[in-house]
Chains A and B, each alone.
Chain A
Amino acid sequence: MSKKEYSDIPGTFVFDADRSREGYHLNQFCISLRLKNNREAFNDNEEVYLDSYPMTSEQREAVISRNWNLLLELGGNIYYTSKLAANDGINFQNLAGRMTGMGVEAYRDMMLKGGRPIEGNRTNDEWEKD
């Protein structure tokens, strides 16, 4: 993949056409959980339900293990993966607490104090210095 102008933003995936293509079946699986009947079928038997979505074995494994960051690394998009999280009773803020590695409490506390500052969080260089 050629270098993209947004590839130096740290800790961020830009859900572009390439990622959309790679994550298509994974994301379509996730969004299917918007509907109650589908959630029930999935929760009844995850493996059987996942057979309807021809995702890669790595993506499938990331779903089963609820590896939230790996799901994004493999082409998932947060608006889709959040439906899998919601199925598990995890809301957006708690999901962010997990993805950042901070934990739910520390993340919520950071947000109450004004969020993650932009200083030091603009480029990969700034993250690599640490």
Chain B
Amino acid sequence: MARITAGVGCSHVPAIGVAMDTDNTNDDYWKPVFNGFKKSREWMKKQNPDVIFLVYNDHCTAFDASCIPTFALGCAEEFKPADEGWGPRPVPVVKNHQKMASHIAQSLVLEEFDLTIMNEMEVDHGLTVPLSVMYGDVKPEQEWPALVIPLCVNVVQYPPPTGNRCYNLGKAVRRAIESYEEDLNVVIFGTGGMSHQLQYKRAGLINSEWDNNFLDLMTRDPLAASKISHLEYLRETGSEGIEMVMWHVMRGALNDEVTEVHRHYHVPASNTAVGHIILENNT
């Protein structure tokens, strides 16, 4: 049977992708950001997942204002990196485990999570930057080492789904994956955050103390973390910090008890606090 062995929480700042794509990861500004992912890349090699279930948000790329699904599951055979206004990122096309994605879609709807199913979709930095930071440079003509099942969560138009809803969705995702008969090692990613505000006069807000407390809760009290209100995210972590609801899908899919094997926190990457955590399911 397929099993979820670990979870990864990770920011998906577009400028991180640009730094990698333009080979600037060693300069004074970016070095401390990427140093925190050295251990993660070694871990990924060792962990070697067959499939990554990747929770992220689309930034008005696949979904503009005309269509705003709260949860959309990628069921296409593959997902091309999108042109977000400065050309597509030079990374490989993302390949799906299409049969497993279909199985998950069916399972989740019957568990009363009314998903949107995407049979055609381009993916933006929200999905490709976490793959890049965790795997390092992978050239467009190469392949990503794992298949990827994308789950898009609306966090652009308020309100996004609640932390509680995301946490429970994670639990349903786990049941779906564990009822899939192929023997597969699955790692789940929750992406976005941490504190940041991109807009208007309060832009640049960072709340390191809050962020680190959130990382603590991810490890030891995910239920408490899932109860954080939307108002608290908006006020304490900036209008775009609310992306962190997506981490609860990842955390809900893991055991209550996990082992934190790595953590990294750094300010700034462009306008954003970078947060990263790796949690392994205790066996």
Which A residues contact B (CB, under 8 angstroms)?
A: 5-6, 9-17, 20, 23-24, 27-28, 31, 33-36, 39, 69, 72, 77-80, 82-83, 86-87, 91-93, 95-96, 99-101, 107, 110-112, 114-118, 121-123
Residues of B within 8 A of A33 (CB): 85
B157 touching A16 by the CB < 8 A rule?
Answer: yes
The one of B85, B202, B273 in contact with A12, judged by C-beta atoms closer than 8 angstroms, is: B202
Residues of B within 8 A of A31 (CB): 60, 64-65
Please name the residue on chain B nearest to A39 by beta carbon: B85
Chain B residue contacts of A118, Cβ below 8 A:
205-207, 209-210, 236
Q: Are A11 and B202 in contact (CB under 8 A)?
A: yes
Contacts of A10 in B (CB 8 A): 201-202
Cross-chain contact B199 with A34 (CB below 8 angstroms): no
Q: For residue B83, which residues in chain A have a CB less than 8 angstroms away from its CB?
A: 34-36
Q: How far does the Cβ of B261 sit from chain A's closest Cβ, in whole Å?
A: 27
Please, which residues of chain B bring their CB within 8 A of the CB of A80? 60, 65
Q: Assess whether B128 is interfacial by the CB under 8 Å rule.
A: no
Instruction: Assess whether A15 is in contact with B156, with CB atoms less than 8 Å apart.
Output: yes
- Do residues A111 and B268 form an inter-chain contact, with CB atoms below 8 A? yes
Q: With A and B bound together, what is the CA distance between A101 and B202 in angstroms? A: 10
Contacts A/B (CB < 8 Å), 26 sampled: A9-B234, A10-B202, A12-B199, A13-B200, A15-B156, A15-B239, A17-B157, A31-B60, A77-B157, A79-B156, A82-B198, A83-B60, A87-B85, A91-B15, A91-B270, A93-B270, A100-B200, A110-B204, A111-B270, A111-B271, A115-B273, A116-B205, A116-B206, A117-B207, A118-B205, A122-B236
Given A12-B234, A17-B157, A115 and B199 contact (CB-CB distance below 8 Å): no
Min CB gap A37→B, angstroms = 11
Q: Is the CB of A9 within 8 A of B271?
A: no
Q: What are the 4 tightest A-B residue pairs by CB atom distance, in nearest-first order?
A: A115-B206, A11-B201, A11-B202, A78-B199
The verdict on B102 contacting chain A, using a C-beta distance below 8 Å, is no
| Complex Cα–Cα for A103 and B129 (A) | 28
Minimum CB distance partner of B159 in chain A: A16
Which residues of the partner chain B approach A20 to less than 8 Å between Cβ atoms? 65, 68, 157
**Is B273's CB under 8 angstroms from A15's CB?**
no
Find A72's partner among B15, B59, B199 (CB 8 Å cutoff).
B199
Q: Chain B: which residue is nearest A86 at the CB level?
A: B85
B-chain residues with CB within 8 Å of residue A117 when the two chains form the complex = 206-207
Select from chain B the residue with minimum beta-carbon distance to A80.
B60
Residue B226 is within 8 A (CB to CB) of chain A in the complex:
no
Residue contact A14 to B205, C-beta cutoff 8 Å: no
Known: A80-B60, A87-B85, A114-B208. A69 touches B201 (CB 8 A): yes
